[in-house]
């Protein structure tokens, strides 16, 4: 969809996803998803690298989005289904995310070939792409249709989900057609799962390479939670150093290193006259490494994002000790990892909340070690040059001394 049709549905999704208020009731459920992942890693992978880290985080990000969209757990993190209905949903969801992941992978492979040519030549990548797309649409239709039926039955009984799910809002409040809801939700899962999981990988890589930064995050958690270490949604606004870690990760390794726009009118850009219909490409990666904007740009320094902090160019990388100078505020358009304007990332608020909760809960309970050094390569998004070997260690003393049983529901 494009033009006015796109604008109509984008406006609806903006109201549901880009405002902070509607997300707040979902923070406890998002936190429980993160708890499940940390529990899983601590029990299965302590003192050794997490196997298939990318897949683990892909399932975490999909599970997180699922509690917002459907209002229930999808069973992607190893939980045992209790009913036949839950077993079927877990199986369907597993097929769905494999198909979505395949679409993303084959889109990368087809990135330099015109789609019409790839289709006419029946290239293997095109065949795999088409198969994954058909599977995703079919399985997605099954999942969404089942959720829609359940929502209607619940409504008929006079019951409303608390908090309201995205699916319920689109169906009952916005009164969208089921076919439109299906398209919107598949697009959302396709766009969100890979990007959020890869951003998490880069954040974990940097924390695993810089234990002094992880230590400061843990100290902040102690202070904000009053020593309990139990990070909840209402704590996030006070975890300013943790938010700086995520911003710094996105600055150094933006998951979308390039952003494109097609000009709708003739434009003067930096003194150059650019005609309408020209594609303009912005290197977010290059902007984030510009030393005139970000002093000492190759150092990982979350402190640069604090309101009053040191200039990273005056101290060693990741130094926590302040230097005399204070860095000027960063220009608002020097840091746009989620894009800007009406076509900016629709899932920004959700992704940020997921990342803050995951990193906080991991750092509070385990030590992180990145065993290998990786570079960034472009595969439609910025990914690691080789699989990250992330090892977790259970420290002798963690932030919290009591870890209550986790709820499995939402």
Q: Mark the binding-site residues for heme, compressed into ranges.
A: 345
Spell out a b/e string for 120-134, using b for 16 or more CB atoms within 10 Å of the CB, else e.
eeebebbebbeebbe
Q: Where are the alpha helices (DSSP H) in 24-123?
A: 27-44, 53-69, 84-109, 115-121
d(CA 258, CA 285): 7
Annotated binding site: 345
- The SS3 call for residue 261 is strand
d(CA 167, CA 174): 10
- Say if residues 381 and 255 touch (Cβ distance below 8 Å): yes
HSE-up of residue 98 (Cα within 13 Å, Cβ side):
12
Q: Whose CA is closest to 399, among 163, 160, 276, 239?
A: 239
Q: How many CB atoms lie within 10 A of CB 400?
A: 18
- Bridge partners of residue 273, in order along the sequence: 268
| Inter-residue long-range contacts of 216-220, CB under 8 Å, 24+ positions, other chains counted | 216/241, 216/320, 217/241, 217/242, 217/245, 217/359, 217/360, 217/363, 218/363, 218/364, 218/399
- 107 token code pair: 């889109």
């Amino acid at each position: 969809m494009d033009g006015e049709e796109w604008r109509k549905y984008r406006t609806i999704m903006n109201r549901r996803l880009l405002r902070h208020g509607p997300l707040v009731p979902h923070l406890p459920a998002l936190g429980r998803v993160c708890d499940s992942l940390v529990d899983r890693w601590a029990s299965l992978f302590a003192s050794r690298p997490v196997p298939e880290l990318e897949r683990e985080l892909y399932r975490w990000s999909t599970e997180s989005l699922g509690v917002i969209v459907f209002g229930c757990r999808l069973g992607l993190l190893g939980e045992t289904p209790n009913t036949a209905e839950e077993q079927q949903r877990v199986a369907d969801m597993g097929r769905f995310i494999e198909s979505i992941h395949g679409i993303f992978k084959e889109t990368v492979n087809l990135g330099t070939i015109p789609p019409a040519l790839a289709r006419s030549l029946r290239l293997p990548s095109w065949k795999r792409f088409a198969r994954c797309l058909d599977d995703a649409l079919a399985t997605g239709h099954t999942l969404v249709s089942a959720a829609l039926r359940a929502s209607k039955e619940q409504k008929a009984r006079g019951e409303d989900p608390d908090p309201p799910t995205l699916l319920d809002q689109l169906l009952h409040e916005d009164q969208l057609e089921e076919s439109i809801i299906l398209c919107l939700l598949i697009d959302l899962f396709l766009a969100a799962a890979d990007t959020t999981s890869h951003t998490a990988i880069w954040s974990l890589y940097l924390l695993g390479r810089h234990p002094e930064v992880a230590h400061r995050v843990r100290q902040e958690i102690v202070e904000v939670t009053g020593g309990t270490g139990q990070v909840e949604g209402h704590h996030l606004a006070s975890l300013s150093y943790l938010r700086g870690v995520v911003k710094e990760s996105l600055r150094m390794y933006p998951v979308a290193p390039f952003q494109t726009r097609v000009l709708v009118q003739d434009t003067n850009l930096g003194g150059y006259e650019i005609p309408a219909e020209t594609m303009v490409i912005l290197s977010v990666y290059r902007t984030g490494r510009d030393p005139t904007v970000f002093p000492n740009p190759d150092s990982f320094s979350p402190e640069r994002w604090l309101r009053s902090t040191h200039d990273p160019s005056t101290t060693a990388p990741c130094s926590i000790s302040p230097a005399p100078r204070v860095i000027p505020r960063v220009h608002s358009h020097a840091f746009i990892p989620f894009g800007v304007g009406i076509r900016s990332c629709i899932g920004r608020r959700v992704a940020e909340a997921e990342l803050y909760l995951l990193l906080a809960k991991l750092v509070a309970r385990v030590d992180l070690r990145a065993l290998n050094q990786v570079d960034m390569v472009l595969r439609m998004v910025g990914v690691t040059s080789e699989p990250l070997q992330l090892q977790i260690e259970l420290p002798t003393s963690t932030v919290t001394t009591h870890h209550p049983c986790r709820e499995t529901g939402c």
